[in-house]
Amino acid sequence: MTRKLTLEEGMNILGGGISKAMMILDGYPTSSLFTCEEYMKMYDCVYQMCVQQPPFEYSAELYEIFKKALEESITSRVIPAVKDKTQNFLLYEVWNMWTKYKVMAKFLGGFFLYLDRQVTDDKNKNTASLNELSVCCFRDMVVSELYPKIMEAAISLVNQDREGNSVDRDMLKDVSTLFVEIGSGKMYYYENFETAILASTANYYNHLLPQWLLHYSPIDIFMKAQNCLNQEKERASQFMHETSVEKLLQVVHEQLLGQTALDQAKQYEKQKNEYGDCSLQYQEMLSGCAGLNLGEGSSRV
């Protein structure tokens, strides 16, 4: 008969494996940390501790051990790496640590694979799977805490791109992907990201149009608006979902060629009579475009 493993004995075996797995967050490749034999030793340990008869059945305790390992990895490695970062450096490091963390969590999940079946397959328990738990820990301990700073950095990056500065658009794609992945099938974080991008876009063009009215002719403004739609579509297509791209184009269209733009032109004419001719011409041009919907406009975008 196989000798029963106590919780202390099991932890003596698993502790070293957990500590090694955390080194993935330091940049060590998994191939340099474990042999196949060592990996199977961890798996066999968890398996035996799950199938032993009470009082030597430790599924609940092992679940907590897995959770604490995730939390410790975040506390000791992830948070120190990201806490003092801002703007692009923050976006880069959050994505960098999330990428490494996913590998580490998957590796740990391999040790505890039988536990996943043992605990989460029980329909009478409302227990998150090991993968769901790993995502939840990173979301709650890292992303939720840094969410305002991540959003501020992402919006700043978009605006820098609009101003013609050289930016790494892959960072925006990484942010978008992060918000999707930490949602565990729900789009709450991505939808908030989308809302913030749309709001900042509306604000950007709402402030840009009055400057155009000061310095450009109506036809020039119209051409510049079309060019902005082209650029926004090309940019947004690289980091947002297709439905989000359409929403963003609608925002730009409304601010530069829709009713919002027409209202701005009328207000501008009222306040700046010396430029009345230009704004009146722009009003006439916009009124002539009133029947132009975004679908028609998009064919030129």
User: 146-150, 195-199, 271-275 — which is least confidently predicted?
Assistant: 271-275
Does residue 269 carry a pLDDT above 80? no
- CATH, residue 98: 1.20.1310.10
Short-list 178, 22, 14, CA closest to 104? 22
pLDDT of residue 120: 64
Give the confidence band of 61 by pLDDT, cuts at 50, 70, 90. very high
207 and 116 co-located in one domain: no
Whether 177 is covered by a domain: the verdict is: no
DSSP letter for 74, please.
Answer: I
Does residue 194 carry a pLDDT above 90? yes
Whether 187 is covered by a domain: the verdict is: no
The residue assigned the tokens 């829709």 is 258
Q: For residue 295, what are the contacts with CB-CB under 8 A and spacing of at least 6?
A: none
CA-CA-CA-CA torsion sign (245, 251, 257, 258)? positive
Question: H/E element holding 12?
Answer: helix 7-22
Whether 86 is covered by a domain: the verdict is: yes
Does residue 299 carry a pLDDT above 50? no
Residue 223 belongs to what domain range?
199-301
Assessment of whether the complete model's pTM goes beyond 0.75? yes
Interatomic CA distance for residues 108 and 49, integer angstroms: 16
3: left (phi over 0), alpha (psi -120 to 50) or beta: beta
132 and 21 co-located in one domain: yes
Residues listed for the chain:
301
Q: Which residue has the higher pLDDT, 272 or 239?
A: 239
- Longest Cα–Cα distance of the chain, Å, equals 98
89 and 215 co-located in one domain: no
Whether 278 is covered by a domain: the verdict is: yes
Residue type (1 letter), 195: T
Structure tokens at 182: 């930490």
131 and 1 co-located in one domain: yes
**Residue 212 · residue 221 · CB < 8 Å:** yes
**Residue 281 · residue 274 · CB < 8 Å:** no
Whether 10 is covered by a domain: the verdict is: yes
Q: Which residue has the higher pLDDT, 123 or 144?
A: 144
Whether 298 is covered by a domain: the verdict is: yes
Interatomic CA distance for residues 1 and 16, integer angstroms: 27
Interatomic CA distance for residues 225 and 121, integer angstroms: 56
The DSSP string of 122-185 is -TT-----HHHHHHHHHIIIIIHHHHHHHHHHHHHHHHHHHTT----HHHHHHHHHHHHHTTTT
Whether 2 is covered by a domain: the verdict is: yes
User: Which residue, of 107, 137, 167, is where some domain finishes?
Assistant: 137
Does residue 246 carry a pLDDT above 70? yes
Interatomic CA distance for residues 273 and 276, integer angstroms: 5
Helix (H, G, I), strand (E, B) or coil at 249: helix
Question: H/E element holding 35?
Answer: none
133 and 1 co-located in one domain: yes
Number of domains the chain is built from: 2
215 and 124 co-located in one domain: no
The residue assigned the tokens 């876009």 is 201
230 and 127 co-located in one domain: no
To the nearest 10°, report the CA torsion of 94, 99, 100, 102: 120
User: Which residue, of 137, 156, 191, is where some domain finishes?
Assistant: 137
Whether 58 is covered by a domain: the verdict is: yes
Does residue 293 carry a pLDDT above 70? no
126 and 253 co-located in one domain: no
- pLDDT tens-digit series, residues 92-102: 999 999 999 99
User: Which residue, of 137, 168, 185, is where some domain finishes?
Assistant: 137
